[in-house]
Amino acid sequence: ENSQDSMYLQYCKVCQAYKAPRSHHCRKCNRCVMKMDHHCPWINNCCGYQNHASFTLFLLLAPLGCIHAAFIFVMTMYTQLYNRLSFGWNTVKIDMSAARRDPLPIIPFGLAAFAATLFALGLALGTTIAVGMLFFIQMKIILRNKTSIESWIEEKAKDRIQYYQLDEVFVFPYDMGSRWKNFKQVFTWSGVPKGDGLDWPIREGCHQYSLTIEQLKQKADKRVRSVQYKVIEDYSGTCCPLNRGIKTFFMSPCTEEPRIRLQKGEFILATRGLRYWLYGDKILDDSIKEGVSRIRGWFPRNCVEKCPCDAETDQAPEGEKKNR
């Protein structure tokens, strides 16, 4: 690394190493992942540089398999019900006890089999729609040579520039300007991703740490706009607490980010929030800082109150203005 780029290197205290461009630390895996997209609970692993293409193919093949299964279920129910339908002048009667036509089915198709087939059809169609939408989202960001995290960083960059009315234009450095070129950055005939996961082709006028520089600006902006709160009631750290009110229970953040346990008298530095929840870092004493990583997560709003110094400015946490 040259001296100009080395100043933008970010150090991971958990891994005790410098992070390469486009890499991020995963709290679930407890390690840094090259070109991290997200942590997927389905595969119990991170989606990143090595398996981004394989994961996207999984999102394609899973709906196709469900469509095939749904077709089999529909044809099965159609065939069996057709053999049991009795058409009259006024009504249509269904006799599920036995087939009216020969040959008899090898597998008996009674009420239990009909209910199970109908339930399986619903699961197949639901999976096709849900996973198909995820595949569409993944392909959308792949064709722009981005990851889910980088799309979020770019969106926050636009918000930061608009919020402060700066004369800046953020250019995403890894978009090659061609969807086909961006596609080939992830998918290859050999199945082995291009490059080494450390250095990436970039657009003209940018360099490897253009995205890192924007991240540092956003972190500095987050510290400026953060608000300090004092804990006034204990919180156990449960996902959906019943004792914090009905609205807090039903409006719990739909995210894998953790909740943090609070005790009365502690202080929290909130960086973003929802209507009934806040996200922030717990301010630790010097006596317990050594050997302890940051304690951050979501907590209910009605457990804390603004400190007097921050209540005067009445500064809203980042994310409250525009919830994502």
Q: Which residues are catalytic?
A: 40
> Which DSSP helix (H) or strand (E) runs through 299?
strand 296-300
DSSP per residue over 151-162, as a string?
Answer: HHHHHHHHHHHH
Closest-CA residue to 149 (of 264, 234, 35): 35
Burial class (CB in 10 A: 0-12, 13-18, 19+), 99: middle
Closest-CA residue to 183 (of 149, 140, 152): 140
> Which DSSP helix (H) or strand (E) runs through 279?
strand 277-282
Q: Please, are residues 275 and 317 in contact by the beta-carbon 8 Å criterion?
A: no
Q: Each residue of 237-264: b (16+ CB within 10 Å) or e?
A: eeeebeebeeebbeebbeeeeebbebee
DSSP per residue over 53-101, as a string?
Answer: HHHHHHHHHHHHHHHHHHHHHHHHHHHHHHHHEEE-SS-EEE--SS-SS
> Which amino acid is it at 211?
L
Residue 11 three-state SS? strand
Closest-CA residue to 281 (of 309, 264, 262, 265): 262
